[in-house]
Amino acid sequence: MSLTLTAMSDSAVTSGQQQWSGSGPPPRPSRGPYISAITNRTTNLGIRGAMLFSVGVFLALVLNLLQVQRNVTLFPPDVISSIFSSAWWVPPCCGTASAIIGLLYPCIDSRLGEPHKFKREWSSVMRCVAVFVGINHASAKVDFANNVQLSLTLAALSIGLWWTFDRSRSGFGLGVSIALLATLATQLLVYNGVFHYQGLQYTSPDFLYIRSWLPCIFFAGVITMGNIGRQLALYEYKFIQEKTHQD
């Protein structure tokens, strides 16, 4: 999915570059605006952020749909509206959060001076995303005996995700703290009645159910987005380096 996104943005920019260079003589023929744009640190940050944002929005929509299915019988009255059944600001919020997290992880890595080297390749990132979607799937589709069981299972799965794909202390700390913060924020919103989850008025069992999986899902999401962010950052470094070689 991120491959597709990358491809889309990449080719879009490429075609833009072509048009641009066709319209007028470029001031520096040796490199197009794409190269100079991507090597610019802020632009590069922006591109990364935008990618992460779109990934976050997409995942939020898809995973929301998974959760919606749990409450719907066979015939959803309208599919399109069920995609956007939650409040309109939820996907952008998720996107922003994932962009921030995805940028924060490589930043913290470089600050701590311990670059993340564990399984730094796209296949591993894809695996991580798949497992994350799987955790969501399990939380939505599998019937658990009680909420404690659900919580424990999801927690074990999330820790497993971290151990399989991250294994860095900074990642764990950041994941736990962000998950706790996000859960707290959601709970506050719910208590104040601002945000009815997925637009449904819920009864207290629903509420408990949501509360039991929310932190684990948040944690797994943070780990996943961090993984993607790190991979993207690695790729940007390479680009910067290549540019300096070409100069």
Partner 1 sequence: MTLREQLREKISAAFYRHGLLCASYPVPIILFTSASILTCCYPLLRLPLPGTGPVEFTTGVRDYSVPSHEPQGDLGERPDWYRGPPVAYIQQVLVKAAVSPWDSSLVTVDVFRSPLSRAFSLLEEIRNHVHSDSSGIRSLETLCLQVTGLFPGLRRMQSVLPEHGCLLVSPGNYWQNQRELFDSDPDLLKTIQKHEPKGLHTSATLRDLLFGVPGKYTGVSHYNRKRVVTYTITLVLSSYDARFLGSLRARLKQLHPSANCSLRDDHMVHVHFKEEIGIAELIPLVTTYIILFAYIYFSTRKIDMVKSKWGLALAAVVTVLSSLLMSVGLCTLFGLTPTLNGGEIFPYLVVVIGLENVLVLTKSVVSTPVDLEVKLRIAQGLSNESWSIMKNMATELCIILIGYFTLVPAIQEFCLFAVVGLVSDFFLQMFFFTTVLSIDIRRMELADLNRRLPAEAGLPPPKPGPLRPREVPPPPRPSPHTITLQTPAFRNLRLPKRLRVVYFLARTRLAQRIIMVGTVIWIGILVYTDPAGIRTYLAAQVSEQSPLGDPGGGGLPPHLGVAPVFRGGDPTSTLSIHPAPDPTPLPENQSQGHHGSARAGPLPQAPPAVPQITWGAEDEEGWRRLSFRHWPSLFSYYNITLAKRYISILPVIPVTVHVSPQEAIETRHPQDTRHPPPPIPKVSADLQTDLTLYKVAALGLAAGVLLVLLLFCLYRVLCPRNYGQNGVAHGRRRRGDLPCDDYGYSPPVSEISPLLLRGHSMDIECLASDGMLLASCCLAGQIRVWDAQTERHNIDFVGGATEPECLGSEARGPSVSGDGLSEEEDSYPLRHRTAPARPTLFTDQPDLTPLIDTNFTSQPPSHLSTPPREGFDFGGLVERAYIEHEPPSNSTYPSPSSASSSPPSGATADWESSVWAMELRGNLIAAGRSSGKLELWDAVEGSLRCSNEDGVSGITALAFLNNRIVAARLNGSLDFFTVEINKPLCLLQYRGAPGRGSMPPSPCYSSEDVISCQLTRSVQCAHQKPITVLRAAAGRVVTGSQDHTVRIYRLEDSCCLFTLQGHSGGITAIYIDQTMVLASGGQDGAICLWDVLTGSRVSHVYGHRGDVTSLVCTTSCVISSGLDDLICIWDRSTGIKLYSIQQEVGCGASLGVISESLLVTGGQGCVSFWDLNFGDLLQTVYLGQSSDGQGVRQLLVLDNAAIVCDFGSELSLVYVPSVLEKLD
Restricting to residues 159-198, name those near partner 1 by CB under 8 A: 160
Task: Give the per-residue contact string, 195-234, with partner 1 (x = CB under 8 A; - = no).
Answer: ----------------------------------------
Among 24, 25, 27, 77, binds partner 1 (CB under 8 A): 77
User: Per CB under 8 A, which region of 10-18, 95-103, 181-189, 197-205 contacts partner 1?
Assistant: 10-18
User: Per CB under 8 A, which region of 90-98, 153-161, 181-189, 213-221 contacts partner 1?
Assistant: 153-161
Residues 114-133 that bind partner 1 (CB under 8 A): 115, 121-123, 125-127, 129-131, 133
Helix (H, G, I), strand (E, B) or coil at 240: helix
Query: d(Cα 167, Cα 114) in Å, to the nearest integer?
Result: 12
Residues 15-44 that bind partner 1 (CB under 8 A): 15, 17-18, 21, 29-32, 34-35
Query: d(Cα 236, Cα 39) in Å, to the nearest integer?
Result: 8
CB of 188 to partner 1, least distance (A): 29
Q: Does 50 bind partner 1 (CB under 8 A)?
A: no
Shorter beta-carbon distance to partner 1: residue 87 or 138: 138
Structure tokens at 37: 């744009």
Query: d(Cα 218, Cα 56) in Å, to the nearest integer?
Result: 12
Answer whether 64's CB lies under 8 Å from 199's CB: no
Which residues, 6 or more positions from 90, have their beta carbon under 8 angstroms from its beta carbon?
Answer: 60, 64
CB of 203 to partner 1, least distance (A): 20
Q: What angle do CA 146, 149, 150 make, to 5 degrees?
A: 85
Query: d(Cα 219, Cα 161) in Å, to the nearest integer?
Result: 10
